[in-house]
Amino acid sequence: MSLEYENDGALHAKLIEEVLSQYPDKAAKRRKKHLSVAKSGDEAGEDGEVLSECDVKSNIKSIPGVMTIRGCAYAGSKGVVWGPVKDMVHISHGPVGCGQYSWSQRRNYYVGTTGINTFGTMQFTSDFQEKDIVFGGDKKLEQIIDEIEELFPLNNGMSVQSECPIGLIGDDTEAVSRNKAKEHEKTIVPVRCEGFRGVSQSLGHHIANDAIRDWVFEKKDVEFEAGPYDVNVIGDYNIGGDAWASRILLEEMGLRVVGNWSGDATLAEIERAPKAKLNLIHCYRSMNYICRHMEEKYGIDWMEYNFFGPSQTEASLRNIAKHFGPEIEDKAEAVITKYRPLVDAVIAKYRPRLEGRTVMLYVGGLRPRHVVTAYEDLGMVIVGTGYEFGHNDDYQRTGHYVKKGTLIYDDVTGYELEKFIEGIRPDLVGSGIKEKYPVQKMGIPFRQMHSWDYSGPYHGYDGFAIFARDMDLAINNPVWDLYDAPWKKKTEPSTAIAAE
């Protein structure tokens, strides 16, 4: 149920000009390429309707000193891809900070006895000291691996997540990992995700994918009886339980989810992936690499899907089912029918409270497009969106989602985002923790769209109810009407609606 609307492209073009005028010339020239207003697209492209064209320069270096919101390769590998693999110990190899700041912050839910057979919400660090920098840390890493084996014997493997200094001092974590893996008969995966590599989290994803290919696949005899409906879910990190709210639908339609990467995953789920029939990829940006590899090497097809909001969920269920034939297609229809009353009830309850409200998004590599239709299902309008670390193919795909006139910003700076929000005054901003409080100070409702603001799941039908409720409670809270002291300024008429 795509909403029909067009955004105020003229205003957005003016805002772009205004922010660029504030930069030193050299920086303005570089930033200009990252900002645009979505133009009308070709009516129908190869992969369906293209609503707009939102080409900007992307996946290139951030400009120094402008307050980029991006993170680093380590964040992409340890924080995103590897960290959620629950039965492995992930060593943040280097100084203490990286592991400390990322400790338990991505809400990759899992079931297990933490510290005994699962290790997700723990911070294992080699806590580098000056002597480790001077003399190298390989000996220390060997000792760390031995100590992990002794104190956490039920770990099913380890990964060594390199922080900046490792690559600079020339440590050979590969050799250490290889030797120790042999000695302990365990999988040990060195990941060269030093934070200075690449331009954002994105290269960290890629390096982490390559590490799966090089250090996990075909390393063990995997005993597993494959079935005709085996799928891997790739790129669902189970934030607030997203992967669980997705899995339940895939199983209901008769598929067997043999691996979920990497939320709530065990190493076994990764090892057996090449035996599946189809790879279903949710976060394309972070895990397309390994899907392409599995396609080339093992002939496994992959397809993208989107479980945000009922329109995309329905379309995705049908697309996935098509791959498996009439029996699964019938079951998929049954699933859609089963959940339709829930969807109707959620929309009936929340759409009147959210209709026409405008939203600006700025998230990572998937959600800036994937959540668009979920908002539109609730009658909300997307006026601006952008990626921290998207590539060209992400912006191409964005054209399938956003309308003409939408403001597009790549690797937005703190300054630009603030000015865009001030100029547009949307009814809601969806971004990250660093953006949350500045936006709220301006009196604009905000939801964290990385962590679901400690809520979730947002995937699937069960998640959509929570998503709708959360957007409602953010926008319709009475606090936004209390900002002006009555003796200073006339207050705006109330827009909040009491909870039902």
Q: Which of 75, 291, 468, 474 is catalytic?
A: 75
The reply to whether 348 sits near another protein by the rule CB under 8 A is yes
The reply to whether 20 sits near another protein by the rule CB under 8 A is no
CA 165 remoteness from chain centre: 27
**Contact set for another protein, span 176-205 (CB under 8 A):** 195-199, 201
What are the residues whose beta carbons fall under 8 Å from the beta carbon of 380, sequence distance 6 or more?
354, 355, 356, 357, 358, 359, 427, 428, 471
Is it true that the peptide bond before 457 is cis, omega within 30 degrees of 0?
A: yes
**Contact set for another protein, span 444-463 (CB under 8 A):** 455-457, 461-462
The reply to whether 349 sits near another protein by the rule CB under 8 A is yes
Q: CB under 8 A: which stretch of 5-13, 98-106, 184-192, 390-398 binds another protein?
A: 98-106
The DSSP letter of residue 195 is T
Strands (E) in 59-150, as ranges, are: 89-93, 124-125
Q: Which of 106, 285, 367, 447 is catalytic?
A: 106
To the nearest whole angstrom, how small is the minimum distance from the Cβ of residue 417 to another protein? 11
To the nearest whole angstrom, how small is the minimum distance from the Cβ of residue 326 to another protein? 25
Q: Is 10 a catalytic residue?
A: no
- Closer residue to another protein, CB minimum distance, 306 or 455: 455
Write each residue from 244 to 273 as x if it is in contact with another protein (CB under 8 A), else as -, in one continuous string: xx-xx--x-----xxx----x-x-xx----
User: Which stretch of DSSP H or E encloses residue 394?
Assistant: helix 392-398
What are the residues whose beta carbons fall under 8 Å from the beta carbon of 312, sequence distance 6 or more?
306, 370, 373, 374
Q: Is 75 a catalytic residue?
A: yes
- Closer residue to another protein, CB minimum distance, 169 or 497: 169
**Contact set for another protein, span 67-96 (CB under 8 A):** 67-75, 87, 94-96
What are the residues whose beta carbons fall under 8 Å from the beta carbon of 21, sequence distance 6 or more?
28
The reply to whether 114 sits near another protein by the rule CB under 8 A is yes
Among 253, 465, 471, 474, binds another protein (CB under 8 A): 465
> Beta-carbon neighbour count of residue 130 at 10 Å?
7
Q: Which of 38, 54, 72, 283 is catalytic?
A: 72
CA 338 remoteness from chain centre: 28
To the nearest whole angstrom, how small is the minimum distance from the Cβ of residue 295 to another protein? 22
Among 2, 143, 392, 495, binds another protein (CB under 8 A): 143
Q: Is 72 a catalytic residue?
A: yes
CB of 386 closer than 8 Å to CB of 368: yes
Is it true that the peptide bond before 262 is cis, omega within 30 degrees of 0?
A: yes
Instruction: Count Cβ neighbours within 10 Å for each residue of 424-448 and write b for 16 or more, e otherwise.
Output: bebbbbbbbeebbebbbeeebbbbb
Among 51, 56, 164, 270, binds another protein (CB under 8 A): 164
- Closer residue to another protein, CB minimum distance, 165 or 426: 165
Residue owning tokens 């590897």: 82
Size of the site for another protein (CB under 8 A): 121
Among 7, 36, 58, 126, binds another protein (CB under 8 A): 126
Residues labelled catalytic: 72, 75, 106, 205
